Structure 1
Amino acid sequence: KHLIPHAITKHGLDVKEWAITDEALLTLIRRYTREAGVRNLERELSSLARKAVKQLMLSKEKTVRVTDANLSDFLGVPKFRFGEVEAEDQIGVVTGLAWTEVGGELLTIEAAMMPGKGRMTVTGNLRDVMKESISAAASYVRSRAVDFGIEPPLFDKRDIHVHVPEGATPKDGPSAGVAMVTAIVSVMTGIPTRRDVAMTGEITLRGRVLPIGGLKEKLLAALRGGIKTVLIPEENVKDLTDISDSVKNSLEIIPVSRMDEVISRALTRAPEPIEWEETSVKPEETPAVETPPVEEEVPGLTAH
């Protein structure tokens, strides 16, 4: 009600000469701006108005209408990826939740397994705390292997690669631990994860789920991305009093205190435990995490 009339007046346009549809405005907010205020939104609207003036002067058109279909013609390719739920249940793909300076984000975590010698590689511009979280997740899964239906020798015959997409953005924090465990269990058991479930929580080597920060922003990101169920640490239940009823009523928020609860709800079916006796296979330590070096500090995602 204020920004659009201001842009029209500022650039000498008439209300009949320039218009933007509601769909285009929503896409503009979601994919071209990312901030707590409206400064960048005002800047982008001014850019649209200037280009409308130019188009009106160079053509015989009397009206310029910005739609969702032609928005990129005016502003170029979208600057930001708006979180959306995965299209289908997949093996080794888990939706976590992250906090940023301008709100919450869906955090996709991928795990792949291949023949190898027990190495684990992590990529995605991850900082120290998140890399340590992945190491803890791998150790936990290995310690509970038979409970998840995984034969222990498999760890020494396969390499696992954990990747967090959008590598240009640094990522840090421990709260993706439960998602890391879920991704590793999924890829090692071949059981898909539910695409409509997101989760947040720090993990311990004993399988406890510890509290996190930024719950409000993370729940808003889940709702925005089309998530139906969110698993949160039980110790964060007290923080739900700060969340609006409209958000809580739109999501199934499930408190969890143990990793077993997460696995049972996040996978499409529960893993079946197996019986396993120690053999002559010599146990090895959990492999060290390999990751490319981070060269510079830039603002990023925080799973805290």
Structure 2
Amino acid sequence: MINNIFLKDIILNNLTYPILPLRDIVIFPNMIAPLFVGRLKSINALETVMEENKEIVLLTQKKSSTEDPNSNDLFEMGTLGTILQMLKLPDGTVKVLVEGKFRCKIEEIISTDNYLSAKLNVLKPDISINDENNDIINNLKKSFERFSKLNSKINSDILSTISNIDDSDVLSDTIVNHLVFSIDEKQSFLEMTDAVKRVKTLSSKIEKEIEILSSESKIRSNVKKQMEKTQREYYLNEQLKAIQKELGTSEDGKNEFDEFEEKINKAKLSKEAKDKALSELKKLRNMSPMSAEATVVRSYIDWLVSIPWKRANKVKSDIINARKILDDDHYGLEKVKDRIIEFLAVQKRTNEVKGPILCLVGPPGVGKTSLGKSIAQVTGRQYIRMALGGVRDEAEIRGHRRTYIGSLPGKIIHGMKKSSSVNPLFLLDEIDKLGNDYRGDPSSALLEVLDPEQNKTFQDHYLEVDYDLSKVFFITTSNTLNMPQALLDRMEVIRLSGYTEDEKLEIAKRHLLQKQMDNCKLKKSEFSINEEALKMIIQSYTREAGVRNLERQLAKLTRKVVTLIEKNEAKSVSVTKNNLPDLLGVPIYQRLE
């Protein structure tokens, strides 16, 4: 047995005791803990000490996964303990109850076939007490008390135990034993032989934990208050709805169903659509207002009453003014302009607004899309552009059926809602870029849309009622005629050939040059370019059917001029054939005479 013979730092030197390697636990002095032992060497060590003085060295392994530890696998500081009870279990394992006594420093580990032993020095407990130590101990007790109030996992009985401990050595070991630290952190406290230092370090550690727990507690409190507020508002809203349901009124004195019925009557729906809307409204009356199906029905009725059914914009039929606007906006394109004027003339004579379906076919940059905007302007129709490039899903045109979650009408109905009239101008851009895959063929869905004899009864999958598209002016654009023959057959094809050099020159002078000067805020007094220089740009810097690259080169030219003026290298720039390469670089193309 260990005698209470105290030297300066050490009780006994070079004593030899069997070792019990521990996994995932650090035993401190004055700590009692149950252990389950299953390894053969550990059981042999226990049986040996039970026959002698019941004292054994409790050493923690550095890695718990090590099955047969050696001197390199164990920490050098451990606890000399006493076995209080030992019980052999039926499965061959042993349950022991151990009590830590003193810290011990391992000097040498002796390995045998039966078990591990250690030569050690038993360290003297620090029992010196003064006023400063008393203050440190009291601070630690107060910190732990505050920590235990924030941490619900700390047993309240431990506080009464700790309040009766005045020994700094015992106090620090007891508190560390009840805190959730990592094995390395607990081992570091075990290796601190200076009790005062251990108490100070532990106090600092607990204060940090208190800060973290306080922040978490504050966050939980705020979340709880927010949840209580949300629940209260929900409860009051539900009460309000229940009262309104009993009274049959909403906040403004009308119930939801009366509002829907009023909208249906004002929307001037077709007979089929009105019957469908009233049928859905009747169904909605019998549903729970919070059910998912009720939301679907509400959305459906909203769509029915929000799209135009009878409202039409007044279409302009002033042929002379229309021709003037087209000439101002676009140079050339006589065939297209003539066809638009013919359409307006027939419309003026017949007083009918049945829209034609034109297909503008031509290379990129010849003005197909911008021409659509001009046609909308001269006819007084709302302009709706629908880009078809890359569209592969039929539902993009016809919509999804209401059986799908989040279903909506297709782009045609979306465009009609946006226009708020039954006679907009619909520009279907890049119709030759339509794709198709397993989700359907959108070009086939367009067959009904672009047939004047069929589109008066167009059916969107979402609406499930006929919708009249016969008053819509459809214009499609395409770079090629590479599209299904059935789709091509429904359209009047107007070819836009590439511009000649003379036409490009006129377009540059009338439109492109002034546009780029406006973009760069260039004044006429600061910049000028003669006709020869413009021709040189067309011939030597661009080679295209349209005018997009010409516009880019003019934009580059104006930027160069602005840069020269801003750098005070010139007050004004006059571009000629001679100085053009200085601004645009070496000509890209060479004209063969």
Q: TM-score range by the shorter chain?
A: under 0.3
Q: Give the TM-score of the pair, scaled to structure 1.
A: 0.27
Tell which has more relative contact order, 1 or 2 (C-alpha 8 A, sep 6+): 1
Q: Give the TM-score of the pair, scaled to structure 2.
A: 0.14
The structure in which a higher percent of residues are helix is 2
